[in-house]
Amino acid sequence: MNQKRRGRRAAGEDTRAALIAAAREVFVEKGYDGATVRAIAAKAGVDAAMVNHWFGGKEGLFAQAVLQLPFDPSEILKRLLDGPVEQAGERIIRTFVTVWDATGGGTFAALIRSVTSQPEVANALKSFFVNAIFKNLLTEIGAEQRELRATLCATQMVGLGIVRYVVHFEPLASTDVETVVKAIAPNMQRYLTGDLN
């Protein structure tokens, strides 16, 4: 084992970025409580004290690594609105699955895994899914009962995410995007524009 020399490293190594990257992985796999500062630091190849140095503590690192959602809600919203309203459900499912598949579902799993210990995560979920996406979408569509519809959409999205990315129930976990879209999009569409009574 090559023991590290003390003191400042040669330029070019970005410890901060390495920590964030490592933290993403470990938080994803273990959740907030299960992930230890030492494990993250080890994966980043630096000392645990660096977490406090750069982020003020474990919580600060978590905020940087996980709560910084990797997409711009308004960008997604624009994309979802681009097209006929009666295909919005389809676009939602396709966008969602494509985007999360691309990250290996990791960020989503991390969010869910951390709902336990971090109340802020529940709020992150809510402000992202419900408020930033669905409520605005429904406003543009001009739907009624927007609040209820938004939470209904959330049930389908969250449920899909859990089954596909967290607990990996087959065959849904491995089904290709288009099949998933065909299977789920009509249900989403009903929550958006259908009759709820």
Site for DNA, rule CB under 7 A: 3-11, 13, 15-16, 35-39, 45-53, 57-59
Instruction: Retrieve residue 18's tokens.
Output: 């390495």
Write the binding mask 168 to 187 for a copy of itself: x where contact by CB under 8 A, - elsewhere.
Answer: xxxxxx-x------xxx-xx
167 binds a copy of itself (CB under 8 A): yes
Percent helix, percent strand, percent coil in the chain, to nearest 5:
75, 0, 25
Cβ atoms 36, 15 nearer than 8 A: no
Place of tokens 């990257």: 21
Min CB(137)–a copy of itself separation in Å: 16
Yes or no: say if 33 and 116 are a contact pair by the CB < 8 Å rule.
Answer: yes
| Least distance between DNA and beta carbon 66 (Å) | 14
If binding is defined by CB under 8 A, does position 44 make contact with a copy of itself?
no
Q: Is 191 in the site for a copy of itself (CB under 8 A)?
A: yes
Interacting partner of 169 out of a copy of itself, DNA, none (Cβ under 5 to 8 A depending on kind): a copy of itself
Our CB check for DNA shows the closer of 16 and 126 to be 16
Q: Return the number of the residue (14 or 72) whose C-beta is nearest DNA.
A: 14
